[in-house]
Chains A and B, each alone.
Chain A
Amino acid sequence: AQTVTQSQPEMSVQEAETVTLSCTYDTSESDYYLFWYKQPPSRQMILVIRQEAYKQQNATENRFSVNFQKAAKSFSLKISDSQLGDAAMYFCAVGNKLVFGAGTILRVKS
């Protein structure tokens, strides 16, 4: 079984500042991937970043990076230099069948 927990229902960040979204998970898979997806209001879900669990190096994609702690089963997302367009619902997901967490609403203040 797989479970994903996002403990922050809502986060706010000032434009140009940095914010970190938390995610913890549990999985019985030995080899798995983790994902962060973004869902803007009334728009489609899109991939932000992906991490392979067997890789120790944290994934980075432009202003987005992750802090992956495999032993702790933690997978947080850091957004640097936040922009107004980053405002959305962010979902953490894990595993072959993509089990999602409940999401974190990110608000960006100008």
Chain B
Amino acid sequence: DTGVSQDPRHKITKRGQNVTFRCDPISEHNRLYWYRQTLGQGPEFLTYFQNEAQLEKSRLLSDRFSAERPKGSFSTLEIQRTEQGDSAMYLCASSSSENTEAFFGQGTRLTVV
């Protein structure tokens, strides 16, 4: 098991473009979380899944953000019509169940120019 994998590691995009990030959790982990982190700040909760079901999406999150986990394994996070304020590190984490240790990926760093 190689841990949580995120792809790509870095993404530079022009404002207004759509981007999609992928997260491959540790196999057999039921829970999958997405966070956004800016420099010097804590991870900001975006959404989380239990298998393929999206349990909650942050109310602070714009409608431009959507996440899926179609087969309960990997997940994708899409940002439509990117804005400069979307520039951040996007972190994915997985855990075997609720309240157990979450393992984090290395993140995808998004830069919107």
Which residues of A line the B interface, CB within 8 A?
4, 6, 32-33, 35, 44-47, 50, 52, 91, 96-103
Contact A44 B105 (CB under 8 A): yes
- Expressed in whole angstroms, the minimum distance between the Cβ of B58 and any Cβ of chain A is 9
| Residue among A52, A98, A103 facing the most chain B CB atoms (10 A cut-off) | A98
A100 B45 Cβ-Cβ under 8 A: yes
Residues of A within 8 A of B42 (CB): 4, 6, 91, 100-103
Contact of A45 among B41, B45, B104 (CB under 8 A): B104
Interface size class of B (residues with CB under 8 A): 20 to 34
Cβ B102 vs Cβ A98 within 8 A: yes
Q: Which of B11-19, B65-73, B75-83, B93-101 contacts A (4 or more CB under 8 A)?
A: B93-101
In the complex, 14 of the A-B residue pairs with CB atoms within 8 angstroms, ordered by the A residue number, are A33-B99, A35-B101, A44-B107, A46-B104, A50-B101, A52-B99, A97-B56, A98-B33, A100-B42, A100-B43, A100-B44, A102-B41, A102-B42, A103-B40
| Chain B residue nearest to A95 in the complex (CB) | B99
A45 vs chain B, min Cβ distance (A):
4
Q: Which residues of A contact B35 (CB under 8 A)?
A: 100
The minimal Cβ–Cβ distance linking A78 to chain B, given in whole angstroms, is 20
User: Among residues 38 to 59 in chain B, which have CB atoms less than 8 Å away from a CB atom of chain A?
Assistant: 40-45, 48, 55-56
Q: Is B91 an interface residue (CB 8 A)?
A: yes
Is B111 close to A, CB under 8 A?
no
B106 interface residue (CB < 8 Å to A): yes
* Distance to closest chain A CB from B51 (angstroms): 15
Which of A44, A96, A100 has a CB less than 8 Å from the CB of B99? A96
Expressed in whole angstroms, the minimum distance between the Cβ of A96 and any Cβ of chain B is: 5
Given contacts A44-B106, A45-B93, A100-B35, 8 further A-B contacts (CB under 8 A): A35-B101, A44-B107, A45-B91, A45-B104, A52-B99, A96-B98, A98-B33, A98-B45
B49 → A minimal CB distance (Å): 10
